[in-house]
Amino acid sequence: MTASVRRIFLPLCLLLLAGCATQPGVRSDPRDPWERMNRGTYRFNDAFDRAIAKPVARGYRKVTPQFVQKGIGNFLDNLEYPVVMVNDLLQGQFKAFGSDTGRLLLNTTVGIGGLLDPATAAGLEKNDRDFGQTLGKWGLRTGPYLVIPFLGPSDIRDAVGRVGDVYSDPRHYIRNNWVSWGLWGLGAVNTRARFLDADAAISGAYDPYAFIRSAYLQHRDYKVHGGQSAGEEDQEEKMMEEAGEDQAAPAAAAPKPSPESPSSPTPSPPAQSPQQPPPQTAPPH
């Protein structure tokens, strides 16, 4: 087993052995049976992000000109694009595979190694596919929601899919460790810098953990099914019903009038003027 595979499976095995209990007194989400464990990992990731990842990303954005950031982003996207092409084939998307092959060749040559993006201007659409999505297309269910140390939100299916993504990424086959790890590190910093603008929305959420979980699961479901699954629709409907019950609780707790006290009379509708016809009721659609 290579070092890359061990780095992926070791955190996963440790998390699976850590326990599956949810926080007491908190309404559990059926997609997240390991919520207590996941929240602990989320707090660890958040502390690491505040102490290291976010300051580095802010410094990178501050000292790097915008056009250089865009060029680095284009270069990394182009470097990782074989992952998309492999999953094109695995999903039977042969037309997309031809388009993505042309995109990779055009950006690598005319685009100076991917620093520029002439393929988009030429009408070659940029796709986003990974092995976790491919497993979903094959019918594999997501499994429980999972927060992985340093890597963030995932689920069991996507955690397994990361292994396929690593072996499809050209950076895995670079034998010079300084170059390989440098590219991985640059990719991590660039990705974190891209998400700096989303920090305000996350920090403003009542429960950032639940906010990220919901956003991640819905995004992944959309990538696999092209829309919202029936399971998520049922879950959201249930949550809305429960929210309605919570809002109705104060009204139900209001004191009822005693039998001796007269009830409030029901107001009668205003009298219609004899010169004007009564208002027409719109027919049901």
- Residue 24 CA to residue 204 CA, distance in Å, equals 24
The pLDDT assigned to 27 comes to 65
The per-residue pLDDT for range 52-77, each reduced to its tens digit, is 999 999 999 999 999 999 999 999 99
The pLDDT assigned to 245 comes to 45
Please compute the mean of the pLDDT values over residues 245-263 and round it to a whole number. Answer: 44
Please compute the mean of the pLDDT values over residues 111-131 and round it to a whole number. Answer: 96
What residues does 148 pair with on adjacent strands?
Answer: 152
Helix (H) or strand (E) holding 147: strand 145-148
Residue type, 174: I
* pLDDT band at residue 20 under the 50/70/90 scheme: very low
The pLDDT assigned to 166 comes to 96
For residue 151, pLDDT beyond 60: yes
Is 140 within 8 Å of 157 (Cβ atoms)?
A: yes
* pLDDT band at residue 226 under the 50/70/90 scheme: confident
Domain boundaries, the chain: 3-13+36-91+129-226
Please compute the mean of the pLDDT values over residues 106-126 and round it to a whole number. Answer: 96
The per-residue pLDDT for range 159-217, each reduced to its tens digit, is 999 999 999 999 999 999 999 999 999 999 999 999 999 998 898 899 999 999 999 99
* pLDDT band at residue 26 under the 50/70/90 scheme: low
